[in-house]
Amino acid sequence: MELLRSNLSRVRIPEPTNRIYKQECCITFDTPKSEGGLFVDMNTFLAFGKDCVEWNFQKTGNPVYLHIKQTKKAVPEDRPSKKPTLLAIGMEGGFDNNEPEYEETYSIVMLPIYATFPFPSVELPEKVRLAADAILLAEGAERKEQVASWTADKKKISEYALTLQQIDNGVVVPPSGWKCVKCDKTENLWLNLTDGMILCGRKNWDGSGGNNHAIEHFNETGYPLAAKLGTITADLEGADVFSYPEDESVLDPLLPQHLAYFGIDFSSLQKTEMTTAERELDQNTNFDWNRIQESGEQVEPLFGPGYTGLVNLGNSCYLAATMQVVFSTHSFCSRYYINQSLKTAFDSAPADPTVDLNMQLFLLFLAEPNLPMACFPVNTRFRMWRLVSVCKVRGCTMESFHGGIDGNDGVGNGTSNVIRVAGHWWLKVLLKQEGIPPRMFKAVIAASHPEFSTMRQQDALEFFLHFIDQVERTSGGKPEMDPSRSFKFGIEERLECPSGKVAYNRRHDYILSLNVPVHKAINKEEIEDFERMKAEKKAEGTEAFADEILRPRVRLMDCLDSFSAQEEVYDFYSTALKAKTTAIKTAGLTSFPDYMVFHMRKFVMEEGWVPKKLDVYIDVPDIIDISNMRSKGHQPGEELLPEAATESEAEPYKVLADEGIVCQLVSMGFNYLHCQKAAINTSNAGVEEAMNWLLSHMDDPDIDAPISREVQSDEVLVDPSRVDTLVSFGFEEEIARKALKASGGDIEKATDWIFSSNASGPSDMDATSSTTAGVDDALPDGSGRYRLIGLVSHIGTSTQCGHYVAHVYKDGRWAIYNDEKVGVSKNPPKDMGYLYFFERLDR
């Protein structure tokens, strides 16, 4: 006690603003449930497991710790499982993980001698009692940074509900027997609350669902609210009401009146359909909903280093899937596993290791959880295969059994899964290995990106690029400390203007984003025949083939060819012509990185700028050779475009009309001068855009005035609504404006420009480069032969929803990583990847 009193200066009473860690060790994944419990430093409020608390004492000299230990309570074996009714975890009505209850005990521990004092106790100094109470009462930093409960967003009252105008058109909705008025769908039907039309819902990405008639009706009429038939009962709070302008499920406080308007007595209706939230809940209850997760396959669990799953923290599968593939690369393993120890990492970390990216990466790589092992007596005559298939040992299902028994009984391969001790045979049962929760890592990596700090689903590609950027920043400019360089490569773009002169632009990237040329599908004829037969059956009034889907199959090499193919660049300012024109661009690679990541651009823009996922297979071979994609650089005989003039010498841009567009408009009977103006004012985006401009400006007072060819670059206007559209897709406003300017205001072309250009850089597409830099000697380089080592697949209609799963090739086999579940992959979905990871063969 005297020793404790002499160290009271090392004890702090936490303030409300202090971050207090008490649920997980800062440098391992130990928790109060671990064998040694958790030790909370009563000066820094950082928590440490039993094996590393002494490291903290040696580093800081802080000797006083609050020890928290949780011991499992006995639970009846027949504890019933409850079916969830709420999209939540750890809440009443939510998912029941059947987690046992624990009894929590506390004590004050003095290092280095581990003198222990029971808590609570009146014998302890008042400062220690106050500090311990404050620590236990405070909400843990882990809880603040990653909310454990996962609930759907609470519905808001629609702004259209109170002012909804209903049309008296004589519609009376019957209590049953509903059918879409535009097709034969009898499920997933929505009642428009304005005119009483019953229409089917949206078509899902896999072809299921409706035929989009309800949303098409909204697009035609603007009638905002619809209620899902089959969800309307006497409990109107459970009814599903959707607002199309607000694009979300909403509350309608006047729903009884709105339903009664069409003769609906909701008190007599029975529930026959799932609401949108319930369907989401149903999907989250059972993740195995398609081939990506190898549903229906008996997956053999995998355990040990390299096969540890990552617990889903609530829509964090994008992080788990991406990191599992990154973990499997030699560059990251060398940096954070092979050439480092956890103690060395801790000693070199800042005072608070929870905010250090390097420390948290070391933690993920080094802190494999201990595999729980139990030994039970067995009879040597008991056949091992029988034991594996049916044995329940003390309530624990055997998850893995590799081999047989030591001896010559003809069973197994002589491994030590069964051992002989004290004259008895004992079976070593490897219990199911739990995944590790990457809470602190997620908090650190999200600190510089507000979207990743939310519980919303995110794009795995965006996360990968953000992660690589953060690793590069923390390396301090030291190549040997930067494993992200193994993904870095150079891209060279060659632009040729109508003058015949060329410019070369170079940039660096970490991923190669590829268009999917669906028109090059290798089963194109088969699809056409299938669609024709489907249409014929539909015309005959039968539903044959209605639920069948035949997907286009495109070769990866065709996607790579599309990257290297010639492409027109609009609004390119030629320093030779001193005017904006259309240039021809080709691209190639200046280096081949150790690891090449291909991003399949399966999300495209439909008419009306609506994102759509391409339902397509990609034929991906295990070995590829992309040597032909190496750029050739400046060739003899090529004349480079002149250097751009300085700002003071620069002439105003001369905006020239595309004669092809002008001639087509003139052939339609329009005035030649008017056609020129239309082409110029739409930045030569195309005939349709020019015609739309022409039709809306025919009555302009200056329509017949001569063309002023001198237009300053800063006068080129961009449609603000189109900027907002791109911003809503997640792009920065500055990049969105630049992309729209470079693509003549076309949304789809602007999206392509962002992915294919160095959009984050300071240069414009019309910036010329009359010289080419030398070969990227500083970057990893080698042959163009690569081997597929991993893929991240996506399930869902957009990157902002659904689920991500990773498959990785290691130890001579494919493994599936589905959050915390890791197992042998018997049929990896190589043709369904969103991100493909290749390793260079001569690395």
Contacts of 298 (CB under 8 A, 6+ apart): none
Q: How many CB atoms lie within 10 A of CB 74?
A: 7
Rounded to whole angstroms, how far apart are CA atoms 249 and 240? 7
- Residue 392's identity, in one-letter code, is K
- Identify the burial level of 642 via C-beta atoms within 10 angstroms of its C-beta, where 0-12 means exposed, 13-18 middle and 19 or more buried: middle
Closest listed residue to residue 105, CA positions, set 57, 66, 137: 66
Angle at which helix 317-327 crosses helix 357-366, to 10 degrees, equals 70
Residue with tokens 């229409």: 199
Choosing from 67, 599, 794, 803, the catalytic residue is 803
Is 213 annotated in some ligand binding site? yes
Helix residue ranges, H only, 566-655: none
Q: Is 317 a catalytic residue?
A: yes
**DSSP secondary structure of 267-311:** GG----S--HHHHHHHHHH----SGGGTTTS-PPB--STT---B-
Name which of 758, 744, 771, 756 is nearest 572 in CA terms.
744
Q: Is the peptide bond before 32 cis (omega within 30 degrees of 0)?
A: no
Residues 6+ apart with CB under 8 A from 332: 326, 361, 365, 483, 486
- Fill in the amino acid letter for 787: R
Contact (Cβ atoms closer than 8 angstroms) between residue 703 and residue 689: no
**Cis amide leading into 16 (omega within 30):** no
Given the residues 26, 317, 559, 675, the one annotated as active site: 317
Q: Does 183 count as an annotated binding residue? A: yes
Which candidate, 770, 720, 766, 750, places its Cα nearest to that of 571?
766
CA neighbor of 797 nearest in space, from 403, 280, 309: 280
391 is catalytic: no
Amino acid letter, residue 311: V
Full DSSP string of 544-570: TTTT-----EEEHHHHHHHHHS-EEEE
Q: How far apart are CA 339 and CA 686, in angstroms?
A: 57
Q: Is 200 annotated as a binding residue?
A: yes
b/e code 681-711 from CB counts within 10 Å (16+ = b): bbbbbbbebbbebbeeeeeeeeeeeeeeeeb
Exposed, middle or buried by CB within 10 Å (0-12, 13-18, 19+), for 754? Answer: buried
- Over the range 15-50, which residues count as b (16 or more CB within 10 Å of their CB) and which as e? eeeebbbbbbbbbbbbbbbbebbbbbbbbbbbbbbb
Q: Two tokens at 124?
A: 């302890």
Residues within the annotated binding site?
180, 183, 200, 213
Residues within the annotated binding site for Zn(2+)?
180, 183, 200, 213
Active centre residues (catalytic): 317, 803
